[in-house]
């Protein structure tokens, strides 16, 4: 187990250490758009970044949306508060798809670019968090996932991305996308570092009624289950690489089993019905009065006033508001929204049954890292289909993690491990064992001592 936190703490830093990190980070950020804000005043402690939809006291927090420009919260999110309490130092706010709406990190003012090759996407919506982790040797990112927002960029940028059980970490201070789906998690260069901060950040929080006091376990399983319907959606090159990876995994004494789970085909449409319904409700609060962007002309007619405010939303946000408002309308609510909730319950029961005696494993993404220009040509439906592997555990609240297992055409490819609810440490232990036999070489090591 390699711990960059322990390594950092054991080494003496030169006097100008943090100044040099900031200078080099700003140069790379001008090219890659990893950060929305970089903290010039950091001068001690292990650096941590915060996704821009998580509040930091006195720091602009916009969820990478024009409608929240200038919003500066007067408080820290609970997870940020815990990081500061444990001696970590705030490095900056990372870029993201607007409000978390996207899989590639391009639905924002400054599209995020892959640190390995800037022609390629970084993944989304926690794009900046993944780029920062790939750039900096000593760093951990506080990120957030709704339908794959941690796993996707972790896979494309070659880092470890961990999404906990829903409720394991407090969501207080998170700018919500979908309340029943959002989960704050982490990205790092090793599973050991994620284990360290997870222990410090879990637990019941009186400020968040969805948080849980149930302790997390590390209950290992000797079997890995592969769902055949998901493999059928995989690019042939990814599938071949993944099968080679499974052969290597057998050397760690895991048994591989293939199972059919036809119900998983319904996870994408059900997820987008539930998530857009909740998103349209959450985004209704942005009216040009209270947060961020303010409409200055109060003589405007009612419709003109709110049109000016809500026109600050990007195209993807508008699309999800319209879709979400439709599916929760009285005339079709039972046909779509209620049915989607039933599908979620069915999937939870089916997946829990598999996780009783195994871990689920799959590629993280069905394709190789695409170029930015290629992604811009995708239809919304094609983009949503890219979340086929990441949506099921997110939709159902299961802990999962993405990690690098190989390279294709010089770019990293990731696998995703899923465990039962509150058995979060089992996912990190699995990655620990893999890291012992797979040595990932990072292209950048800003801050190396």
Could you give the 3-state DSSP secondary structure of residue 304? Answer: helix
Residue 341 tokens, joined: 């909730």
Strands ordered across the beta sheet of 223-227: 35-38, 89-94, 47-51, 140-145, 183-188, 160-163, 400-408, 411-418, 359-363, 223-227, 255-259
Radius of gyration for the chain, computed over Cα atoms and rounded to the nearest angstrom: 21
Active site residue 51: yes
Active site residue 199: no
Question: How many angstroms separate the CA atoms of 308 and 178, rounded?
Answer: 24
DSSP H helices, 120-266, are 127-135, 151-157, 191-201, 228-231, 236-249
Could you give the 3-state DSSP secondary structure of residue 359? Answer: strand
Measuring CA to CA, how many Å separate 10 from each of 46, 140, 446, 449?
11, 17, 18, 11
Could you give the 3-state DSSP secondary structure of residue 169? Answer: strand
Name residues whose C-beta falls within 8 Å of residue 279's C-beta, 6 or more positions apart in sequence.
99, 101, 177, 178, 320, 321, 324
Measuring CA to CA, how many Å separate 144 from each of 338, 421, 424?
26, 17, 16
Burial 401-435 (b: 16+ CB within 10 A, else e): bbbbbbeeeebbbbbbbbbbbbbbbbbbbbbbbbb
In the 8-state DSSP scheme, what is residue 129?
Answer: H
DSSP H helices, 283-415, are 302-310, 315-327, 339-355, 372-376, 380-385, 391-396
Asked if omega into 125 is within 30° of 0 (cis), the reply is yes
Torsion of CA 52, 126, 395, 155, to 10 degrees: -170
Active site residue 149: yes
Residue with tokens 């500061």: 84
Measuring CA to CA, how many Å separate 11 from each of 7, 17, 31, 86?
7, 12, 30, 18
Please pick, among 28, 51, 221, 233, the residue that the annotation labels catalytic: 51
Please pick, among 61, 103, 145, 149, the residue that the annotation labels catalytic: 149
The Cβ of residue 9 has, within 10 Å, a number of other Cβ atoms equal to: 12
Please pick, among 64, 65, 125, 267, the residue that the annotation labels catalytic: 125
Contact status, residue 71 vs residue 78, Cβ threshold 8 Å:
no
Q: What residues act catalytically?
A: 51, 125, 149
């Amino acid at each position: 187990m390699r711990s960059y936190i322990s390594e950092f703490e054991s080494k003496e830093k030169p006097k100008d250490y943090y100044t040099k990190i900031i200078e080099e980070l700003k140069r790379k950020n001008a090219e890659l758009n990893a950060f929305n804000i970089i903290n010039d005043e950091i001068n001690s402690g292990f650096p941590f970044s915060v996704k821009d939809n998580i509040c930091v006291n006195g720091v602009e927090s916009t969820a990478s949306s024009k409608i929240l420009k200038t919003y500066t919260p007067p408080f820290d999110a609970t997870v940020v508060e815990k990081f500061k309490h444990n001696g970590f130092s705030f490095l900056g706010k990372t870029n993201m798809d607007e409000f978390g709406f996207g899989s590639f990190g391009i639905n924002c003012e400054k599209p995020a670019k892959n640190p390995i090759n800037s022609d390629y996407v970084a993944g989304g919506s926690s794009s900046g968090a993944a780029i920062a982790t790939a750039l900096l040797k000593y760093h951990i990112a506080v990120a957030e996932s709704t339908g794959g927002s941690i796993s996707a960029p972790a896979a494309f940028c070659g880092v470890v991305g961990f999404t906990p059980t829903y409720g394991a970490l407090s969501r207080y201070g998170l700018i919500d996308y979908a309340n029943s789906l959002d989960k704050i998690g982490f990205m790092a260069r090793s599973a050991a570092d994620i284990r360290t901060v997870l222990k410090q950040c879990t637990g019941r929080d009186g400020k968040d009624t969805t948080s849980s006091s149930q302790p997390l376990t590390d209950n290992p399983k000797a079997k890995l289950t592969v769902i055949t319907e998901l493999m059928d959606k995989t690019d042939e090159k990814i599938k071949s690489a993944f099968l080679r990876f499974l052969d290597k995994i057998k050397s760690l004494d895991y048994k591989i089993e293939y199972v059919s789970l036809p119900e998983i085909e319904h996870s994408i449409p059900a997820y987008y019905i539930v998530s857009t319904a909740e998103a349209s409700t959450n985004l209704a609060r942005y009216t040009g009065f209270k947060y961020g962007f303010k409409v200055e002309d109060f003589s405007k007619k009612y419709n003109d006033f709110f049109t000016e405010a809500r026109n600050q939303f990007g195209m993807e946000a508008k699309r999800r508001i319209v879709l979400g408002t439709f599916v929760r309308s009285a005339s079709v609510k039972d046909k779509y929204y209620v049915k989607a909730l039933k599908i979620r319950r069915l999937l939870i029961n089916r997946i829990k049954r598999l996780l009783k005696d195994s871990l689920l494993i799959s590629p993280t993404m069905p394709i190789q890292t695409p170029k930015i220009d290629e992604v811009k040509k995708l239809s919304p439906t094609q983009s949503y289909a890219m979340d086929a592997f990441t949506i099921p555990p997110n939709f159902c609240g299961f802990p999962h993690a993405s990690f690098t297992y190989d390279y294709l055409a010089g770019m990293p490819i990731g696998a995703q491990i899923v465990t039962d609810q509150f058995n979060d440490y089992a996912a990190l232990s699995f990655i620990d064992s893999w890291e012992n036999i797979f040595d990932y070489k990072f292209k950048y090591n800003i801050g190396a001592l």
